[in-house]
Amino acid sequence: MTVQWYPGHMNKARRIIKESMTDVDLVIEVMDARIPFSSENPMVAELRQHRPCIKILNKSDLADPAITKAWLSYFEKEQGVKAQALSVQDKSKTKNLPQLCRKLLPGRGSAVKPIRIMIMGIPNVGKSTLINTLAGKTLAKVGDEPAITKLVSSAQHRIILEGNIALSDTPGILWPKIENENSSYRLAVTGAIKNTAIDFEDIALFAADYLINAYTEKVVERFKLKTCPEKGFQLLEEIGRKRGCLRAGGVIDIQRASEILIHEIRSGALGSISFETPEMILHETKVSENEQST
């Protein structure tokens, strides 16, 4: 599944961000802790250039803690980058972000020279929730559907925080084409791509195959199975039986079973799950490069 999802408003958002970047000192990029690589927008590095960056692995309460720790170490190796895991369960770390910003920019933070920050991220990674927590009040609309933030000129849309910090919000933007096919699936599974643009059975099958191998015990426990199926389609059938997804004649409704599995993943009902590791991404990248060279 290769996703081509680049609506006109996202093209406009990219142009506005590029124009506004001249008035930015630091970039905060928000990613989904369950899929840090797949939810990282390669355009951020292109647009921010030499500016320092804080990479936020958001929704860390939904991700595997050990894998999140590995990703934090991975991102910290990048020059000018600091990485931090955040979750809605622990807002104290979010409120410590301004202190980290001042540490990265010791020459700014006065009334004359405020720290000018732009917050970026693909749709549905929790940018609005982060902004509201930093501001201490509701300023950005929060929703489950991607691309809900309204497009505005960031030069006119600045949120002033304590400590002389000016925060510019941006709409969530995806890049023109997602090259890694597995990333396409991971983005769809976690909800970064609108449900109307995906096939639930297709992405549920991808998720089921992965969960069987990576989180066997969680699958068995959550769906009350005696043993874990070997194939993703078999798991969807088991979910259909257990949850009463039956059509006339006792035929299993795979579509409904698929929707149940995806909902369980997105809500965290299956537990703390990550869908990619640094090692996994390195392997996929090498495989892709080898295929392109042959």
Per-residue pLDDT at 1 = 54
Which of 138-147, 197-206, 227-236, 281-290 ranks highest by mean pLDDT? 227-236
Per-residue pLDDT of 119-178, as tens digits, reads 988 888 888 888 888 887 766 655 544 443 443 334 446 788 888 899 887 766 666 556
Per-residue pLDDT of 211-230, as tens digits, reads 999 999 999 999 999 999 99
Determine the average pLDDT of the residues in 102-120: 90
Per-residue pLDDT at 149 = 45
**What pTM was estimated for this model as a whole?**
0.86
Determine the average pLDDT of the residues in 35-59: 90
Asked if pLDDT for residue 22 goes beyond 60, the answer is yes
Per-residue pLDDT at 152 = 38
Determine the average pLDDT of the residues in 15-19: 78
- Rounded Cα gap, residues 121 and 29, in angstroms: 5
Per-residue pLDDT at 258 = 97
What is the chain's mean pLDDT, rounded?
A: 85
Asked if pLDDT for residue 54 goes beyond 90, the answer is yes
Superfamily of domain 8-168: P-loop containing nucleotide triphosphate hydrolases (3.40.50.300)
- Give bridge partners of residue 168 from the DSSP assignment: 118, 158
Domain range summary for the chain, segments of one domain joined by +: 8-168, 199-287
Determine the average pLDDT of the residues in 246-275: 95
Asked if pLDDT for residue 290 goes beyond 90, the answer is no
Per-residue pLDDT at 14 = 72
The CATH number for 199-287, chosen from 1.20.58.220, 1.10.1580.10, 3.40.640.10, 1.10.760.10, is 1.10.1580.10
In terms of Cα–Cα distance, which of 189, 183, 46 is closest to 124? 189
